[in-house]
Amino acid sequence: MKEDNLFPKIMSEQFPYDMGPWITEKSEHGIKALIEIAKLLPEINNSKDISDDTKHWLYLSLSEAMDKLNVLYAFSCGINTGSGNETILLEKHEKGLEEVKVKYGLLEKTTEQIETENRTSFYEKLNEYLQMEQYPGRTLLQELFENNIHYLNERTFNAMFLKRIYNKLSQMANGEIDWTTFIEQATEDYKNIVLPAKD
């Protein structure tokens, strides 16, 4: 994320202070309002009560307004042009806004990027701990699952194998299987997990 001194100062004869942050804030609020309208477009396009001409002009107006607000937004952040990002904003909504904010130096990473990094780190640690001795491996695995239990509750292919590993960890903790058996079975389950793609 940019340091404050890297953003341009936008001065006005009317006010004795930098107007840049105010323009950034107001243009972002405008973009967010247009995003809410963009979310309604599928419903509007499917409506038989609205003419095709109205739908056409609504989209053109929305696209034009988003483009101009985005150019102003970019300008306040010291970007030469923000034109062309209106499609990202209209189609990807809040995710698109996060992507634009990263481009303009207002965010370091998007929520999606952070989640991918966290997920990748989780799987890397899981793999690392499965190759350890029982101590400290067992404790580290228990802490890893306890701190990331949401991955087990997802309706995904990976969650099924994570649950299997977690259940076997519980069996091992209860003395139902030994550490060697747990590692053998858990490692086989880990091989079935689809790891997040790396950039």
Q: Exposed e or buried b for every residue in 70-85, given b needs 16+ CB within 10 A?
A: bbbbbbbbebeebeeb
Number of Cβ within 10 Å of residue 128's Cβ equals 13
SS3 for 36-98, per residue?
HHHHCHHHHHHCCCCCHHHHHHHHHHHHHHHHHHHHHHHHHCCCCCCCCCHHHHHHHHHHHHH
Which residue, of 54, 85, 108, is where some domain finishes?
Answer: 108
Q: Cβ(85)–Cβ(100) under 8 Å?
A: yes
Query: Is 16 a residue whose pLDDT tops 90?
Result: no
Q: Looking at residue 199, what is its pLDDT? A: 60
Section 69-77 average pLDDT? 93
Lowest mean pLDDT among 9-18, 67-76, 130-139, 169-178: 9-18
Report percent pLDDT > 90 for the chain: 86
Do 39 and 62 sit in the same domain of this protein? yes
Domain count across the chain: 2
* Helices 134-147 and 157-173, packing angle to 10 deg: 130
On whether residue 57 sits in a domain, the answer given is yes
Q: Looking at residue 5, what is its pLDDT? A: 76
Can you give the residue range of the structural domain that contains 54? Answer: 4-108
Do 102 and 154 sit in the same domain of this protein? no
CA atoms within 13 A on the CB side of 147: 13
Average pLDDT, the chain: 94
98-129 pLDDT, tens digit each: 999 999 999 999 999 999 999 999 999 999 99
On whether residue 197 sits in a domain, the answer given is no
Token representation of residue 46: 């499917």
| pTM value surpassing 0.85 | no
Do 23 and 86 sit in the same domain of this protein? yes
- Cα 93 to Cα 123: distance, rounded to the nearest angstrom: 29
Which residue, of 85, 108, 131, is where some domain finishes?
Answer: 108
On whether residue 199 sits in a domain, the answer given is no
Do 101 and 44 sit in the same domain of this protein? yes
